[in-house]
Amino acid sequence: MYYNLDSMAAIAKRLNSFNRDCAVTVALKISDNSCKMDDYEKSVFMLLYKYLNKKSEFFEDDVFDLIEQANSSPSASIYANIKKRREAAMDFITRPKMKAFKEEIRKQLSE
């Protein structure tokens, strides 16, 4: 399935704090290659992350730099740091809520 990505910036702008944290967590999973989505889906969710208002109530501000580092110059220490943050975020978010978040984004992109 392919999505209409023209509305991505507007979708990102409407995300509440919890959903922004979901989007950051997905970006962490993509950045350390632990995400099981196909390449197209990964690119869609990284585009969402690109348009995201970079503020979080859950993550420290340096998480955004960490994601950038993982994508520009990955290393074992960066991946270890990402894993720790990603696992803490998934404990906070929970798997069912993360699945619901991703499904809602896909639904909005299909409208």
For residue 1, the model assigns a pLDDT of 76
pLDDT at 45: 98
**Residue 99: predicted pLDDT:** 97
Q: Which domain holds residue 76?
A: 5-110
Q: What are the CB-based long-range contacts (under 8 Å, 24+) for 83-86?
A: 83/32, 83/34, 85/28, 85/59, 86/25, 86/28, 86/29, 86/32, 86/34
Structure tokens given for 76: 């074992």
Q: What is the CA radius of gyration of the chain?
A: 13
How many domains are contained in the chain?
A: 1
- Please give the average per-residue pLDDT across 12-36, as a whole number: 97
CA gap 52, 69 in Å, rounded: 17
Percent of the chain with pLDDT over 70: 100
Grade residue 111 by pLDDT with cuts at 50, 70 and 90.
Answer: confident
**Confidence (pLDDT) at 22:** 98
pLDDT (0 to 100) of residue 77: 95
Q: What is the pLDDT of residue 42?
A: 97
**Closest to 48 (Cα-Cα) out of 105, 110, 107, 111:** 105
Helix (H, G, I), strand (E, B), or coil: what is residue 75? coil
CA distance 9 to 107: 15
CB 82 within 8 A of CB 28: yes
Residue-wise pLDDT tens digits, 61-98:
999 999 999 999 999 999 999 999 999 999 999 999 99
